[in-house]
Amino acid sequence: MLALTILGNNSAIPAFGRNPTAQILQTREESYLIDCGEGTQLQMSKYKIKRSKINHIFISHLHGDHYFGLIRLLTSLSLLGRTQDLHLYAPAELEQIILLQLKVADSQLCYTLHFHPLTKDELILNGNKITVHCFAVQHRIACWGFLFKEKKKPRKINQERVLSYEIPVSFYERLQKGEDYINKKGLVIPNEEVTFTAPQGKSYAYCADTIYDETLPDKIKGVDLLYHETTYLHDLKDKAAARYHSTTLQAASIAKKAEVKKLLIGHFSSKYEVLNEFLTEASAGFENTDLALDGVSYII
Amino acid sequence: MLALTILGNNSAIPAFGRNPTAQILQTREESYLIDCGEGTQLQMSKYKIKRSKINHIFISHLHGDHYFGLIRLLTSLSLLGRTQDLHLYAPAELEQIILLQLKVADSQLCYTLHFHPLTKDELILNGNKITVHCFAVQHRIACWGFLFKEKKKPRKINQERVLSYEIPVSFYERLQKGEDYINKKGLVIPNEEVTFTAPQGKSYAYCADTIYDETLPDKIKGVDLLYHETTYLHDLKDKAAARYHSTTLQAASIAKKAEVKKLLIGHFSSKYEVLNEFLTEASAGFENTDLALDGVSYII
């Protein structure tokens, strides 16, 4: 199970109490922070997100509405006495900015911060339960999307059958991985005979600020949940393109082409006070769409 | 008339909905921003502070709770199309940080930002209505206080008397500055005979994060309002000293020695949820004391 909580859904200029971009993806054990606009830490307090469960932070790009809250989060964690290592996946220049801000404050973090610069589409985290790939999206400056996938879970042993086939306990782990068993007489016991299929791992793709990009669907094919920015309604598609942003119908088109199960839209321009039309327009193009709303958790 | 509005009164770790340090000092024409912790811009919206009236920003030191909100304010002003010049008075390294953050975002401000690095106790702004001096305070890193003084207002002309003494209109401006008038017969008309005293200009001293420092009173003698930090109650005076901060009674002692008219205390540690005791303790040492509370305006 994955759950995504929205901590901010607005674009650069603050408006209507909406916060700049930040999201928390949670498994049962850990939390992953995706982007960290100003005020993210306060949003975490508001929505009871435990900062101590965050060991990995992903920053899509270095426009301020996606990272200005990070330095305060990092220094607060230090003031609060964190000791666990923290991993930061971000464009390389962020390291300079953080180190400079620590230097002028004559401060050090009391935990180890590992910088992982994003350089090409690749696997950037191979955890116990989850993998994370980054992939380039097209924005005014270097910008990255992130694809989170729960790892394949082990198959479940059918207790009755393994006993009847007299399969030794020492072979169970290999059964869980999907291997067939060959008994002393050379008889092959097919894996499906003695195990149950494991539930499918879930997947989430985060497409940060991006122009409409037809190469995206291949990178995020069939995910359970896709977040795609919709800075503008579709009548402003020229403005969107000029600013390397997307519209409602463009996000819907990507969702459709990628055959995702559900679409979440956000990064709304500060010119819009009411968001209903975003939902109406995007749903017309891709039915299973939701607005990314502050404080709302979406179970994947 | 000067009015001071508190936009944040807390120390570094966010707590109890209190914001990090930021203050707005207003004359009838202009607003002066003093420190700019994270979230300052949202606080400005909340308390109806017009960003367009701010032409001068003063940053005391480069601990994050005093400046992490600045970069977002600067970039928002640009997105909103500001054209007026903006002046920033701050430790020199802040320039590097801002330029680096603009560079990685491939952004430029669409107005001119003038950096004025703080280097020694001196007059840093000589405006039409106000002067600002900076003075060093003692903190863990270089840190500055700011002294704002309304300029002496011109004396008021006593219409009846100037007519009776037949003083030409062309001399009125010199009268307003305090000069005596000598008539054609060589007779001296003393200035006080033909003008009224102008109301006294008001003054405000902001003592940012500082250890208890007995050299301070001389620098801020007799101001109408003194803001002095009180990170801790007085039982923690050793902790305060170790961290280059002050206590309630120490702030009161500075106020008394400086013979100020009123004391405002703030920069409360996140360990305190309720602030009553701050007021009780400080008032015991200096009666005319107030807590610096979010959103409250103090008329000077």
Helices A93-104 and A70-79: angle between axes, nearest 10 degrees: 50
Say whether A14 and B41 touch across the interface (CB within 8 A).
yes
Mean pLDDT of A175-186: 91
Mean pLDDT of A91-107: 96
Say whether A39 and B39 touch across the interface (CB within 8 A).
yes
Say whether A68 and B72 touch across the interface (CB within 8 A).
yes
Mean pLDDT of A243-265: 97
pLDDT of res. A11? 86
Confidence bin at A119 (pLDDT 50/70/90): very high
List the Cα angle A247/A251/A252 in 5-degree steps: 115
Shared domain for A52 and A119, answered yes or no, is: yes
Q: What is the value of pTM for the model shown?
A: 0.86
Chain B partners within 8 Å of A62 (Cβ): 101, 104-105
Helix residue ranges per DSSP H, chain B: 40-46, 70-79, 93-104, 159-164, 172-176, 191-194, 216-219, 237-242, 248-257, 276-285
Chain B partners within 8 Å of A140 (Cβ): 106
> Which residue out of A43, A72, A141 would a mutagenesis test of the B interface target, given it has the greatest number of B Cβ atoms within 10 Å?
A72
pLDDT of res. A191? 93
Count of structural domains, chain B: 2
Whether residue B50 contacts residue B80, with contact meaning beta carbons closer than 8 Å, is answered with no
Give the count of Cβ contacts less than 8 A between chain A and B: 84
pLDDT of res. B14? 72
Chain A partners within 8 Å of B75 (Cβ): 12, 64
Chain B partners within 8 Å of A105 (Cβ): 62-64, 141
- Say which CATH number the domain at A70 has: 3.60.15.10
Shared domain for B130 and B259, answered yes or no, is: yes
Min Cα distance A205 → chain B (Å) is: 24
Residues facing residue A8 across a β-bridge? A22
B230 HSE (CA, 13 A, CB side): 33
pLDDT at A133 over 80: yes
A91 or B154, greater pLDDT: A91
Confidence bin at A137 (pLDDT 50/70/90): very high
Say whether A80 and B41 touch across the interface (CB within 8 A).
no
> Which residue out of A104, A108, A143 would a mutagenesis test of the B interface target, given it has the greatest number of B Cβ atoms within 10 Å?
A104
Question: Helix or strand or coil: residue A134?
Answer: strand
pLDDT of res. B16? 81
Residues 6+ apart with CB under 8 A from B225: B2, B4, B202, B203, B204, B205, B260, B261, B262, B263, B264, B298, B300
Among A196, A226, A255, the domain boundary falls at A196
Say whether A14 and B62 touch across the interface (CB within 8 A).
no
Residues from A contacting B (CB-CB < 8 Å) are: 12-14, 38-39, 41-42, 45, 62-64, 68-69, 71-72, 75-76, 79-80, 91, 93-94, 96-97, 100-101, 104-107, 140-141
Shared domain for B294 and B179, answered yes or no, is: no
Among A196, A222, A249, the domain boundary falls at A196
Shared domain for A87 and A167, answered yes or no, is: no
Which residues of chain A form beta strands (DSSP E)?
3-8, 22-26, 31-36, 54-58, 86-90, 113-117, 122-126, 130-137, 143-150, 156-157, 181-182, 188-189, 195-196, 203-207, 225-229, 262-266, 289-291, 297-299
pLDDT of res. A266? 96
Q: Distance (Å, rounded) from C-alpha B81 to C-alpha B109?
A: 9
Shared domain for B26 and B161, answered yes or no, is: no
Say whether A104 and B62 touch across the interface (CB within 8 A).
yes
Shared domain for B169 and B101, answered yes or no, is: no
pLDDT of res. B152? 83
Question: Helix or strand or coil: residue B297?
Answer: strand
pLDDT of res. A100? 96
B86 or A154, greater pLDDT: B86
Using CB atoms within 10 A of its CB, is residue B264 exposed (0-12), middle (13-18) or buried (19+)? buried
Shared domain for A216 and A75, answered yes or no, is: yes
Rounded percentage of chain A residues whose pLDDT exceeds 90? 88
Shared domain for A64 and A78, answered yes or no, is: yes
Nearest to B69 among A38, A80, A93 (CB): A38
Shared domain for A168 and A216, answered yes or no, is: no
Shared domain for B162 and B251, answered yes or no, is: no
Q: Distance (Å, rounded) from C-alpha A165 to C-alpha A193?
A: 10
Q: Distance (Å, rounded) from C-alpha A29 to C-alpha A129?
A: 9
Q: Distance (Å, rounded) from C-alpha A84 to C-alpha A122?
A: 25
Min Cα distance A83 → chain B (Å) is: 17
Shared domain for A84 and A131, answered yes or no, is: yes
Chain B partners within 8 Å of A38 (Cβ): 38-39, 68-69, 72
Say whether B101 and A64 touch across the interface (CB within 8 A).
yes
Rounded percentage of chain A residues whose pLDDT exceeds 70? 100
Residue A186 structural domain:
156-196
Min Cα distance A157 → chain B (Å) is: 49
Confidence bin at A60 (pLDDT 50/70/90): very high
As annotated, the active-site residues of A are: 65
pLDDT of res. A280? 97
Say whether A101 and B97 touch across the interface (CB within 8 A).
yes
Chain A partners within 8 Å of B106 (Cβ): 140-141
pLDDT tens digits in sequence order for chain B, 300 residues long: 899 999 999 987 777 888 999 999 999 889 999 999 999 998 999 999 999 999 999 999 999 999 999 999 999 999 999 999 999 999 999 999 999 999 999 999 999 999 999 999 999 999 988 999 999 999 999 999 999 999 988 899 999 999 999 999 999 999 998 999 999 899 999 999 999 988 889 999 999 899 999 999 999 999 999 999 999 999 999 999 999 999 999 999 999 999 999 999 999 999 999 999 999 999 999 999 999 999 999 999
pLDDT of res. A175? 93
Mean pLDDT of A59-82: 94
Chain B partners within 8 Å of A14 (Cβ): 41-42, 45, 76
> Which residue out of A7, A19, A36, A38 would a mutagenesis test of the B interface target, given it has the greatest number of B Cβ atoms within 10 Å?
A38
Question: Helix or strand or coil: residue B276?
Answer: helix
Whether residue A237 contacts residue A247, with contact meaning beta carbons closer than 8 Å, is answered with yes
Q: Distance (Å, rounded) from C-alpha A174 to C-alpha A190?
A: 12
Q: Per the structure block, which two tokens stand in for A199?
A: 């539930």
Whether residue A107 contacts residue A179, with contact meaning beta carbons closer than 8 Å, is answered with no
Shared domain for A205 and A129, answered yes or no, is: yes
Among B131, B164, B196, the domain boundary falls at B196
Residues facing residue B144 across a β-bridge? B136
This model of the complex carries an ipTM of 0.83
